[in-house]
Structure 1
């Protein structure tokens, strides 16, 4: 069992905050899911269905979409990068 320093939250509130922040960004129009937005490109074979296929792949939306939906879209991506970096630093797994 790892010793806990005074004030350390053991991941509870920190994990909740990171989950909420990641879901906020992914739910925005700044990101899109190729499998949901381009269903015609999905593979029909079953070989890709496995433990790792449960995750969802999201990619940034095209620049013109980002510019239209969010005036400070570059800062939003920078902030999202900070959240992901913080999650990696604390070895948190983010499923969105």
Structure 2
């Protein structure tokens, strides 16, 4: 975060700089948990993606499966969609 270009762009976007590091109290545990879930997903392509469109398509399929099929232990083994719908 020492790049003047980055600092200028963040200022331009009216964003605050964050100096948090992994495993410190002020990082975002929700985004960190989701990133780990995606990274270790068995369906993650081992050879990467051929295009940005392929990434977007894969992430949309992952999101549907994560919200509509995957049972989450933190919410008594139901899907987030089921919990949201009651």
Q: TM-score range by the shorter chain?
A: under 0.3
Normalised TM-score (structure 1): 0.25
Q: TM-score normalised to the size of structure 2?
A: 0.27
Structure with more relative contact order (C-alpha pairs < 8 Å, separation 6 or more): 1
Larger strand proportion, structure 1 or 2? 1
